[in-house]
Amino acid sequence: MIIVMGPEVTDEQVGTVVKKLEAAGLKANVSRGIERTVIGAIGDERKLEADMFTSLPGVESAMHIAKQYKIVSREAHKKNTVIDIRGVPLGGNQIQIIGGPCSVETQEQMDLSAKYVKEAGCRLMRGGAFKPRTSPYAFQGHGVEGLDMFRKAADKFNLPIVTELMDARQIDAFMEYDVDVIQIGTRNMQNFDLLKEVGRINKPVILKRGMSATISEWLMSAEYIAAGGNHNIIFCERGIRTFETAYRNVLDVTAIPVLKKETHLPVIVDPSHAGGKAWMVPALSQAAIAAGADGLLIEMHPSPCDAWCDADQALTPDELKKLMGTLGVIAGAIGRTL
């Protein structure tokens, strides 16, 4: 951390800052310039906050120079992390497409979905048993019954399952049905108690970006999970909220290369929630793969017009299969496989 003192700072004020740093277990390096005095904190600055110093007399500003996120940082781990999901690698050269419906509706719907996901060439399946909805009157999911339907359908085609966890009280059910990948949704990205809980279990976690979250806030949320001991974290860009109303969310493609620079962990994209319309999904998917995404989370329903949730953004089985072919070509062009 760097602490900048004002132009008329006194020796006593500098001494107060130095003592506070030493009390926190750090050393201080005082550099006196013509107009400003700068105090550098030497040691583990993660325990420091800027407002510990900005309220002190003579302090003009304070800022971190080291990244607050250590475990998920590229500095801590130079090579890309590849996460093994029941034999399916995510984060390596092979790009993974996770297909399936927005929500678990019926056993027949899930059986058909699993069949079409497998036929399209996807190696993992998505589906919501517990559904966070804007309206309290909208379909909230079948809960544990939905997990049971999902597990039965996916197991017929040997597909690992991805589903959203909304509450720490649901963890026992997720473990009972052996959910392969736990998804933390956008609304829970900064639910720190929930992040701590999934940090204690040995399951891969997809961490979706909050709709108004900065990259730094997103990385710090991942650090909560990693600090608990679970390092199997997958970032998912799903679109951010801006002033634009022509589409559901703004897909921040720029986040992909930025995250690739900042973290060693895999980065995937949810083009379905970003665009909010099925006709946008192919273009957004192609852009994401070209930009370096390690995978996609795509909604597909056997009959989108009959979907109980997010019908407008779900692809048909034929559309998913066609898209997989296009994405395979793009993957090959950038030296990767699908």
Asked if residue 37 is part of any domain, the answer here is yes
Which tens digits make up the pLDDT trace of 177-207? 999 999 999 999 999 999 999 999 999 999 9
Q: Which domain holds residue 154?
A: 83-333
Q: What is the pLDDT of residue 245?
A: 86
Same domain, 29 and 93: no
Same domain, 104 and 180: yes
Six-digit token pair at 108? 């027949």
Same domain, 40 and 88: no
**Geometric angle at alpha carbon 275, from 270 and 278, rounded to 5°:** 90
Reading across the β-sheet that carries 59-63, which strands appear in turn? 27-32, 37-42, 2-5, 59-63
Q: What is the pLDDT of residue 303?
A: 94
Same domain, 32 and 116: no
Same domain, 313 and 199: yes
Same domain, 288 and 242: yes
> How many domains would you assign to the chain?
2
CA dihedral (112, 116, 122, 127) in degrees, to 10, reads: -30
Q: What is the pLDDT of residue 211?
A: 92
Calculate helix-pair angle for 215-227, 255-262, nearest 10 degrees.
Answer: 40
For the chain, give the percent of residues with pLDDT over 70: 98
Q: What is the pLDDT of residue 66?
A: 67
Asked if residue 76 is part of any domain, the answer here is no
Neighbours of 242 (CB within 10 A): 11
Residues of the chain scoring pLDDT < 50: none
Neighbours of 272 (CB within 10 A): 29
d(CA 71, CA 231): 8
d(CA 116, CA 268): 21
Same domain, 209 and 326: yes
Same domain, 114 and 53: no
The rounded radius of gyration (Å) of the Cα atoms in the chain is 23
Same domain, 118 and 20: no
Average pLDDT over the chain, rounded to an integer: 92
Which tens digits make up the pLDDT trace of 277-334? 999 999 999 999 999 999 999 999 999 998 888 888 999 999 999 999 999 999 999 9
Which CATH number do you get for residue 308? 3.20.20.70
- Number of Cα atoms under 13 Å in the Cβ half of residue 220: 12
Asked if residue 72 is part of any domain, the answer here is no
Same domain, 55 and 87: no
Same domain, 137 and 50: no
Which CATH number do you get for residue 36? 3.30.70.1140
